[in-house]
Amino acid sequence: MSFELNGVFYQTDKEGYLENPENWNKEVAEYMASTVDTELTPEHWQVIEILRDYYQEYGYPPQVKVIVKTMQKRFGTEKGNYKYFYQLFPKGPYLQAYKIAGVSNPCKWM
Amino acid sequence: MEAIQPRHISDEIKGFLKNVDFNTCLTCGTCAGGCPVSGISGELEGWDIRKVLRKLVYGMVDEIVDSKFPWVCTGCGRCIHACPMKIDIVYLMKIMKKLRDRDKVPGILHKGVLKVLETGNNMGIPEKIYMDVLDIVGEELREQPGFEDFNLPIDKDNVDVAFYPNSKEISADSDDMKWYWKIFHAAKANWTIPKDNWEAVDWGIFTANDEASMTLAKRKIDFVKSHNIKRLILPDCGGGSLGARSSIEKWKAKDPSLAIDYLYIYDIFIEYMKEGRIKVDKSKNTKIHTWHDSCKHGREAERMFGQGKYDEPRWLLQQCTDNFVEMHPTRENAFCCGAGGGAWAGPYKEERNYYGRKKAESIKNSGAEVVVVGCSNCRDQILRGLKPKYNLNIEVKYIWEIIAESLIME
């Protein structure tokens, strides 16, 4: 499976995750968000940035607990809690946040 | 019409099959009668284990190896338990899996084996994320009354027991670890978990990769020996416990200096209760509870090692509740939930849920409101597979969840 943005083709797996996370960019994030009924706000981007940072540094996306903890450190407890996270991504980290951030879902068989 | 001609069988396959004596098969079909796969529809329609055995007698090995049958079989051992001639069908299905080219192993199972060999866990979770998750879960636990001074012991020397997490707990169900940790903390246990090679479970056993199982067991032996740890707690995962235990025994047979002491998770909690190190409050569990026997802790452990863990979890559960009922059939006759042998992580969801229909019936008929389990695969299958599929009005809990939630903290 694949989709096209501005003349570039991006491969996805059968569940719609970006095949190669290195090909991710902001346009891809906007497109992926549209496939999971999400309109990206600056608050969404703060979470996506954490996901991308972790992925770039460790080659692996952070677990939801780690995302929430990092949010807490960066933006305080008002944004560093589960309720806030799930308000932004009601479908959950794997179905929504990971997909938009273009990282593969290591938990899809769980 | 052409007569059926036996296919050419290579020496390698003959070597594997020489351990199985088909001449003793009475073709009675008792194996198929007790096997939940019988009656399956779809690609395997018309197949059952008796027919598979007859095909093998005719030399149709490739047909079995290329089919999904060995991967739908959960290795629950109900067939051999019922077989009057005790033909080792579980072993035979393992050989059929072994003969499958590694790049054709269904789903992500072989990928997980490669990952654990390379990184120390099935999902390739980096050390940083593992340590971050452990830190955060520990911090959350310290916020609960009675656990303010909890500290997770990682890579400790000279402790009583070593305990392994699994990658599912690190990647998704991290809160589940708190139940174990609470019990260890309440018992003032001298315990540790490893920093490296921390994966509890053994997908080598799911893909019939004996070399991988041996490597994983050797890592556990090395950890226990190098840290001078008294005993290893076998993984809660049924397959993980069976894989670790049988491979540890094989290492011991090869080299007696590699022998280590091990015990099941039930045994350590029984010790803590009998020594009065933990106390539980029965009044917290008034609903009707039943126990689901993991095949690999029960029937298969009994067949391979002479004793199944039937009484131990029931004793523990009955310390936590006065409201206990048995399912029927139970203990060595119990039905598999359908997730064993790697089926939970495998791609054949429909077959897995079909397999579990017998267990769903047993649960419904028991009238229980809470199904208690001691294996993470069984738990996921009953909670996330069978409960929605068969509209079961139940809660599914781990035995250590019930113990932890009933602890009397002094």
- What does the pLDDT profile of chain B (410 residues) look like in tens digits? 666 665 566 777 777 777 778 888 898 999 999 999 999 999 999 999 999 999 988 888 899 999 999 999 999 999 999 999 999 999 999 999 999 999 999 999 999 999 999 999 999 999 999 999 999 999 999 999 999 999 999 999 999 999 999 999 998 899 999 999 999 999 999 999 999 999 999 999 999 999 999 999 999 999 999 999 999 999 998 889 999 999 999 999 999 999 999 999 999 999 999 999 999 999 999 999 999 999 999 999 999 999 999 999 999 999 999 999 999 999 999 999 999 999 999 999 999 999 999 999 999 999 999 999 999 999 999 999 999 999 999 999 999 999 999 999 97
d(CA B339, nearest CA chain A) in Å: 12
A109: pLDDT strictly greater than 60 = no
| Contact (CB, 8 A) for B398 and B166 | no
Partner-chain residue, chosen from A65, A109, A110, that has the shortest CB–CB distance to B136: A65
Token pair, residue B28, equals 């009675």
Topology of B109-263 in CATH?
Glutathione S-transferase Yfyf (Class Pi); Chain A, domain 2 (1.20.1050)
Coil, helix or strand at residue B324: strand
Closest CA to B147 of B119, B181, B121, B115: B181
**Chain centre distance of CA B61:** 28
B368 vs A35, B32, B63, B171, B326, CA distance in Å? 41, 28, 42, 31, 9
Q: How far is B125 from chain A (nearest CA, A)?
A: 7
A105 vs B114 pLDDT, higher one: B114
Mean pLDDT (chain A, rounded): 90
> What are the residue ranges of CATH 3.40.50 in chain B?
277-405
CB contact under 8 A, A60 and B126: yes
- Is B277-405 assigned to CATH 1.10.1660? no
Q: For chain A, say whether B168 makes contact (Cβ under 8 Å).
A: yes
Scan for tokens 């290195």, then name that residue. Answer: A22
User: CA distances (Å), B333 to each of B34, B266, B294, B383, B402, in order?
Assistant: 9, 20, 11, 22, 25
Chain A residues within 8 A of B126 when measuring between CB atoms: 58-60
Question: How many residues in chain B?
Answer: 410
For B168, the closest chain A residue by CA position comes to: A110
* A65 at B interface, C-beta within 8 A: yes
Closest CA to B326 of B292, B296, B375, B297: B292
* Distance between B380 CA and the closest CA of chain A, angstroms: 9
Report CB contact under 8 Å: B171, A58.
no
Q: What is the DSSP letter of B24?
A: G
| Residue B35 near residue B336, CB atoms below 8 Å | no
Domain ranges of chain A: 2-100
Nearest CA-CA partner of B80 in B25, B13, B39: B25
What are φ and ψ of residue B150, in 5° steps? Answer: -70, 135
What residues does CATH 1.20.1050 cover in chain B? Answer: 109-263
| DSSP codes, B267-286 | HHHHHHHHTTS--B-GGG--
What's the pLDDT at B2?
Answer: 65
Select from B122, B123, B127, B141 the residue whose CB has the most chain A CBs within 10 Å, as the one to mutate to test that interface. B123
A2-100 has which fold? Arc Repressor Mutant, subunit A (1.10.10)
- DSSP secondary structure, B234-251, as one string: PPSSHHHHHHHHHHHHHH
